[in-house]
Structure 1
Amino acid sequence: MKKEVIIIGNGIAGITLAVLLQRKNIPFVILHREEEKQSFALGETLPPTAMLLLHELQLLSVFEENAYRKTYGYHSMWGSSKVTDINFFHQNPYKNGLKINKQQTLAQLQAAVKEHTVSYQKGFEIIHSAHGNTVILAKNDGIKIVQGKILVDATGRNRAVLKKLKVESTIHDELVAVSCHIPKIKHPKLTHEVYVESFKEGWGIVSALNETENICSLFTDVGNEILPKLKDASQWKSTLAETTYLKDFLTEDTTTKVKGGNANSSVATQIAGINWLALGDAAMSFDPLSSHGITNAIYTSAKALEAIEKKLNVADVKAFPEYAETLQSVFKQYLQSKDLVYQQETRWKDEVFWKRFFITGS
């Protein structure tokens, strides 16, 4: 199989790029690994800024069709013992975000490019040269060879392609998340369906997942003494008993399963090469506090399309380096803004989790 573009990974970033390439009639193939495990549903919320980007890419209707509802703000208890109501009313041109069903949204986008999708079961290898890329897929019934001019890493935080290309990552912190689904309750003192609260050892967010469930995610650092307790959802309520409203959402159900994973800020040391590039979390991963995850996937896909068009249509040798430079600049600005947000929480500035944000020159 020979294509102009080979995309490895079929999450939001890879599928968005595939849809955009299809519109431009640029031949591509999506390679994705079949997984037996069912994905863990997260309460994904798109901010108003993402609405404009989706509109410009003519993708807004897809995300709206697969949204649980529009969102008009969120509550936060951060840097103060008082709840702040962050309302989207003053946002322009869109005054709402979206609480989306990520799995359903992905399924609709994946269906649009299904005929360009190839699955594999046992991994892949890359033969990479200045003239193109050859990907060898290991399948249950043998191997399949795919050739393309441009290779795209859309494998998320795994950065599976970058690892094959010996590209390293710069890790900026050791933030981890533990999440679980809990029964949905309507808090008597909160109106929005998203609530963020900081505490001595980290912070947490409760967000509506659907009509009957919330998802709660708690964030702390690797090695923090609270982490072992957070791995057992039945201990959450007692462990976080000193929180103001967060504890009200928590359960003592011993059957509730906890899902853990990295939530740190990291960036690939090289985001693009002569004939390859990374996008979404494979290029740069953001702290969930930023709410940039899906927006980053969509934004980098749009920028990748621009670079790929220049590379294929006019042989622009600067296209990929400029793409990488743009993303590096975005990530640098993000790091500065992230630290400023954490520095707003001064109540526990001497505690292990928080003190790094107040060290001069950190």
Structure 2
Amino acid sequence: MKKEVIIIGNGIAGVTLAVLLQRKNIPFVLLYREEEKLPFALGETLPPSAMSLLNELELLSLFEENAYRKTYGYHSMWGSSRVTDMNFYHQNPYKNGLKINKHQTLEKLRETIKDNMVSYRKGFEIIHEEHGNTVVLAKNEGVKIIQGKILIDATGRNRAVLQKLKIESVIHDELVAVSCHIPKIKHPKLTHEVYVESFKDGWGIVSALSETENICTIFTNKGNEILAKLKDISQWKSTLAETVYLKDFLTENTEAKIKGGNANSSVANQLAGTNWLALGDAAMSFDPLSSHGITNAMYTSAKALEAIEKKLNFADVEAFPEYDSTMKIIFQQYLQSKNRLYQQEIRWKDVEFWERFF
């Protein structure tokens, strides 16, 4: 199989780029690892600022049609014991965000590119040829040989392609997330369905997932003593007993499933090479506090498309280095913004989780 572009990874970043390439009639193939388990629903929320990008990419209607609901604001208790009410009514031009059904949205996007998708179960290998092309060997029971001019890493935080290219990453913190699905409770003192609260050992968010279910995620640093307690859902309420409103959402439901994972900020040392690019979390991963993980995936896909067009149509040798430098500047701006957010919380500035920001 010969294509112009080989994308590895079928999350939001990889699939968005594939859709954009298809519109431009640029031949591509998207390789993805077969998953046996259904993904754990996180119910991410897109802020109003993401609506403009979705509109530019002509994807807004698809995201809206497959979202759980529109959102019009959120509550937070951060930096003080007073609840802040953030309404989206004053945002322009969009006055709402979206609580997205990521799995359903991805399935709809994948339907449009399914003829150009190839699965693998036993990994892949990358071979660079002398004349600049790349060959990817996708391993199943046999081996699928795919040749392309440009290789894309869209494998998320795993950075599977970058690992094979021996590209290292810089990890800026040890933030981890622990999530669980809990019965939906309407808090009598809160209007919006998203609530964020900081506490001594980290911060947490409760967000409506469906009409009957909330998702609660607790963020803390790797090695923090509360992690051992968060492994048992029956201990969540007592572990978070000192929180103001967060504890009110928790029940001692022993049936709830728990999902853990990294949520740190990191960036690859190199985001582009002579004939490859990294997108989304594979390029740079953001702290969920920023609410820009999915926005980052789509934005980097749009910028990658620009670079790919320059490379293929105009043999522009600066296109990929420019992509690399632009993304690194964005990441540095993000780090500064993230640190300012954490520095707003001064109540526990001498406690292990918070002191790193001061």
Q: Do both proteins adopt the same fold according to a TM-score greater than 0.5, normalized to the shorter chain?
A: yes
Give 1:23's aligned amino acid.
R
Is residue 258 of structure 2 the alignment partner of residue 273 of structure 1? no
Q: Secondary structure at the residue paired with 2:352?
A: coil
Give 1:137's aligned amino acid.
A
Deviations 1:292-333 (A, max 9, x none): 110000000000000000000000000000001111011000
* Counterpart for residue 132 of structure 1: 133
> CA RMSD for the aligned pairs?
0.7
Give 2:326's aligned amino acid.
T
Unaligned 5+ residue runs, structure 1?
A: none
Say if 1:234 and 1:256, in contact at 8 Å, map to a contact too: no
Q: State the Cα distance separating 1:255 from its structure 2 match.
A: 2.0
User: Identity across aligned pairs (percent)?
Assistant: 79
Give 1:60's aligned amino acid.
L
Deviations 1:9-43 (A, max 9, x none): 01100000000000000000000010112210002
Give 1:8's aligned amino acid.
I
The 2-side partners of 1:77 and 1:65 are apart by: 31
Give 1:41's aligned amino acid.
A
Is residue 172 of structure 2 the alignment partner of residue 196 of structure 1? no
Is residue 84 of structure 2 the alignment partner of residue 84 of structure 1? yes
Q: Secondary structure at the residue paired with 2:25?
A: coil
* Counterpart for residue 355 of structure 1: 355
* Counterpart for residue 64 of structure 1: 64
Deviations 1:152-187 (A, max 9, x none): 000000000000000001000000000010001111
Give 1:9's aligned amino acid.
G
Deviations 1:36-79 (A, max 9, x none): 12210002110001000010111101000001111111000000
* Counterpart for residue 332 of structure 1: 332
* Counterpart for residue 255 of structure 2: 255
Is residue 167 of structure 2 the alignment partner of residue 167 of structure 1? yes
Q: State the Cα distance separating 1:128 from its structure 2 match.
A: 2.1
Say if 1:13 and 1:301, in contact at 8 Å, map to a contact too: yes
Q: State the Cα distance separating 1:253 from its structure 2 match.
A: 1.4
The 2-side partners of 1:3 and 1:162 are apart by: 20
* Counterpart for residue 152 of structure 1: 152
* Counterpart for residue 14 of structure 1: 14
1:280-359 pair list within 5 angstroms: 280-358=280-358
Give 2:133's aligned amino acid.
G
Say if 1:280 and 1:296, in contact at 8 Å, map to a contact too: yes
* Counterpart for residue 110 of structure 1: 110
The 2-side partners of 1:252 and 1:326 are apart by: 47
The 2-side partners of 1:242 and 1:342 are apart by: 20
The 1-side partners of 2:325 and 2:91 are apart by: 29
The 2-side partners of 1:127 and 1:235 are apart by: 50
The 2-side partners of 1:59 and 1:254 are apart by: 39
TM-score normalised per structure 1? 0.98
Deviates more, 1:126-135 or 1:170-179: 126-135
Q: State the Cα distance separating 1:341 from its structure 2 match.
A: 0.3
Say if 1:154 and 1:282, in contact at 8 Å, map to a contact too: yes
Number of residue pairs aligned between Structure 1 and Structure 2? 357
Is residue 52 of structure 2 the alignment partner of residue 52 of structure 1? yes
